[in-house]
Structure 1
């Protein structure tokens, strides 16, 4: 058993001295005290009395998300609202719905920050908390798939949750670093019961009845905190082998569980992963609908790809790399670079599989995704799934490999493919458990089929909103099993919204990711980050949008306001239309300068890359205006990610395979 986590905390504010967190249960548990002036974090004595000067907060605290230092003060982030999303194997799983930010500096107000830089950083923090999908459990490790938990169960005995959590999916690991440092430096001041790991992803669980048997279907996605960010500002791979938009998706099936009970007869787990094409590449926004494609052939490209694939095989075993990127047009260079570097890396247990999605499924023939399943038939049979029967001491089957799927964004095409693979595996699992006959299919059971489609569609929307800012495309097929014209029209609207968000709003979203995950750490003193609230672009760049707006106003004014003379307005409209056209042309020519780039870590090395590789075009650069000089935050402090995870989870595949052979 893990060390228990405190599920409810009562918060007391002792004036400007401290925040005191008293566990509601068990009675007599040691309170946590955070001293506001010094920032010290300590455990008080058991049954310690609350100071008479302390006042109790009106809100119940359901967990401490962590502690973050901004330019003026440090802030505690606490969870003040939660929503029960279901029970997995009898363990409640919650979504965090409300948060409160508590300043440590007594002279700082969260609602009225003392400096615009601090206000900007707090706004980034709030936006991330409000838009993210955080899930957690107090007595179940939601960061790890079931097979990983089973393999490590003996070694996990008596440890705290944060010690055994999967470092990749422990989203608030950086925010909890102070608490973890205090615990590791002084075991007598063990804060493990207050360190609550959360995942950024999705969780859904639903119950069905098939042929008189209770079947629970659960879908969990876990988003990696490494190379996290938005669609166009985090692409490809980094030097440590981390890829953008990496998600592990686990489909759990529990058979024989009675509603409201913890028991089960049979348990299945099937895992898939997705992630950006593991090469150095990017798409550079220029205000055009299709960004400029940039592929960078760097010295360590092969090493980075090898690191990524080696980590994947160490964690999951055999790798089936399913690539859905187009083989022609804009996407072709990405496909070719992927194939080239996978071949050069030459990592054992890795097989590359290309599927021409748009060609095979054109004219809305999404049912032809079955061709991919036919191509993967042998790999899926070899890799298997995790299978536990309650009456047997050892698992019946182990999953010894995964399918890693990607398209350009790892969203829409990837969702369709993963949902189809998951459905095929679910059918096989229910046949294996004897719930349905060998010639039966889940399509004959409306309730289960509906649940499966809706869960995968919702899951697709969660991942797409986190990465692209809108719901996923093509979900009409995932949700209903059919591709419709209404769904295609809805996809057009979402594509327009993605364009607007990706060009004009994702810069601040990316800054929020970098701030919360610790990729960028502010220095003390707001003057070191004034670049966050100032616009250092040349005056002409800043002025043209005002010219465009005023020209548009004058055109509408000429069309709508009553006339006071009979003179022709031809020259009036010619002038203002010409000025409007010039302004639009200028903005398009200098498109890069009008994109809302991230300010904490601007991608100047990508925008101005001129080394070996491929670039589809050089749009939006105007007449040589240097965006790096204009927007780079050179005074920022940098913080590296932690070391790559090397622990007992790497032994899972080998251990699992060994037990299976035995």
Structure 2
């Protein structure tokens, strides 16, 4: 598909001056210092700048590259700011940055009036924020929303990219969505940066003697998050654990082609009880809502991506075999979704990836059919791994 360049898109402020006063923080865009806002250090109250907002001498002045939002704990609010960034490439011709450092600034002077237990609890929560400050794989752009794939962009109404960035974004893939509430309420659109957690890689090469750019971006869904062993299966709403949308974009001769693949935990009600064993046992929860959970999950996928093909890559024996069998049983009730079971470990092991040709023989016809659809040059193929 060919995308016409937009002559007027919304752009965020991209560099800020952070002024620290005894009673407040002040954030001002370097390119537009008359704009900005202040944050009360006692209660976290946010206000747009007025004539007296930055009067007096700040105790410290530094440069930041974005505001990630605010979070309220027991004794007050913390302001998240991006203190370091790295440009890693571009998405559809617009620069992408990776967060290399960020920091929570405390606005909790009321803590001094807290009880001993409240101070202890606040200290514990603060350690969690420090862990959050080192979250890996965070990406953002000042000029384009990273949460929408190319296919969805092409369906949106003309002028959508002139809306504030947070209104363009898909909340499912905005890592800091809940942190943005105060900024949104204060209508600070030029400061609200949707941050994506995932990965990004880009390469330049030649295809049939024509220069081409190939980029891959993965978007991690914010629903039903958790570490690999602790978060499994789906919830009653049909959200699968550790759901990721991956998009490969090829740009050549002025055209852009998008291939989407989404993956997540098998959308049944199941868990894996973590213990000292290398591979904890699986437990499938017998629940009357299971068929509806699977139905909700795939209904949502079909609404978002069109036709779906589900590829089950689990082992066909042991606990995983039982899980795969239960999954196959539920998929038989969904006639509009093609289900393919492929024992990845049995066929490919740890090194024989050439054997993936066996899988392609099973799904190649569907893959090509989805690729030929004019209105959706590349539909999404559903791939599951556990």
Using structure 1 for the length normalisation, give the TM-score.
0.54
Return the offset for 1:248: 0.2
Look up the match of 1:402.
380
Distance 1:229 1:133 in 2: 15
Write the distance in 1 (CA, Å) between the matches of 2:328 and 2:53: 64
> Which residue number in structure 1 is paired with residue 326 of structure 2?
337
Q: Does 1:10 align with 2:13?
A: no
- Report the Cα offset of residue 292 of structure 1: 2.2
Aligned position for 1:43 = 48
Deviation at 1:285, TM superposition (A): 1.5
Report the Cα distance in structure 2 between the residues aligned to 1:90 and 1:8, rounded to whole angstroms.
Answer: 20
1:26 equivalent in structure 2 = 32
Match of 1:285 in 2: 274
Provide the C-alpha distance between the structure 2 equivalents of 1:56 and 1:207, rounded to a whole number of angstroms: 47
Out of 63, 70, 80, which is 2:66 matched to?
A: 63
8 A Cα contact 1:268 1:385, kept in partner: no
* 1:248 paired to 2:245: yes
Higher helix share: 1
**Structure 1 residue 37, shift from structure 2 partner:** 3.0
The answer to whether the 8 Å contact 1:68/1:175 transfers is: yes
Q: Secondary structure of 1:318's partner? A: coil
The CA distance in 2 between the partners of 1:352 and 1:219, in whole Å, is: 26
Structure 2 residue 202 is matched with structure 1 residue 198: no
Q: Deviations over 1:128-171 (max 9, x none)?
A: 33132100001011011111112114251531111120111011
> How far does the alpha carbon of each residue in 1:99-140 deviate from its partner, in whole angstroms, 9 at most, with x for none?
12111123659xxx9833222212222213313210000101
Deviation at 1:38, TM superposition (A): 4.0
Distance 2:33 2:126 in 1: 35
SS at match of 2:311: strand
Superposed counterparts of 1:349-498, under 5 Å: 349-362=336-349, 364-384=351-371, 398-399=376-377, 401-408=379-386
- Partners of 2:72 and 2:292 in 1: how far apart? 34
Distance across 2 between alignment mates of 1:373 and 1:78: 46
2:140 touches 2:146 (CA, 8 Å); kept in 1?
A: yes
1:367 to partner: Cα distance: 0.8
How far apart in 2 are the matches of 1:88 and 1:57? 35
Alignment of 1:556-595 (within 5 A): none
**1:70-469 mapped onto 2 (5 Å cutoff):** 70-106=73-109, 115-154=119-158, 156-180=160-184, 182-183=185-186, 190-256=187-253, 265-344=254-333, 346=334, 349-362=336-349, 364-384=351-371, 398-399=376-377, 401-408=379-386
User: C-alpha distance in 2, partners of 1:337/1:49?
Assistant: 65
Alpha carbons of structure 1 residues 399 and 312: separation in structure 2 relative to 1, 3 Å = farther
Partner of 1:646: none
Q: Secondary structure at the match of 2:179?
A: coil
Residue 342 of structure 1, CA deviation? 2.2
Q: Distance in 2 between matches of 1:123 and 1:314?
A: 40
Change (3 A) 1:223 1:238: same
Residues 553-599 of structure 1: per-residue CA shift (max 9 Å, x gap): xxxxxxxxxxxxxxxxxxxxxxxxxxxxxxxxxxxxxxxxxxxxxxx
Larger RCO: Structure 1 or Structure 2 (Cα < 8 Å, ≥ 6 residues apart)?
1
Shift in Å, 1:84: 0.5
CA distance in 2, matches of 1:50, 1:177: 22
SS of residue matched to 1:204: strand
Q: Please give the secondary structure, in 1, of the residue aligned with 2:133.
A: helix
Determine the C-alpha separation between the residues in 2 that align with 1:52 and 1:385: 62
Q: Which moved more, 1:192-201 or 1:120-129?
A: 120-129
Superposition RMSD in Å:
2.2
Give the whole-Å Cα distance in 2 for the aligned partners of 1:25 and 1:84.
Answer: 19
- Give the superposition deviation at 1:35: 2.1
Aligned counterparts of 1:242 and 1:150: Cα–Cα separation in 2 = 26
Q: Distance in 2 between matches of 1:165 and 1:339?
A: 34
Is the 8 Å Cα contact of residues 308 and 380 (structure 2) preserved in structure 1?
yes
In our comparison, the structure showing a higher alpha carbon Rg is: 1
Partner SS, residue 334 of structure 1: helix
Gapped regions of structure 1 (runs ≥ 5)? 184-189, 257-264, 387-395, 409-662
Partner deviation per Cα, 1:345-378 (whole Å, 9 max, x = no partner): x2x5311111122222248432111111111111
- Partner in structure 2 of residue 571 of structure 1: none
SS in structure 2 at match of 1:278: coil
CA distance in structure 2 between the partners assigned to 1:233 and 1:323 by the alignment: 21
Q: Which has the higher strand share?
A: 2
Number of residue equivalences: 375
Deviations 1:257-297 (A, max 9, x none): xxxxxxxx221111100000000111102212221211101
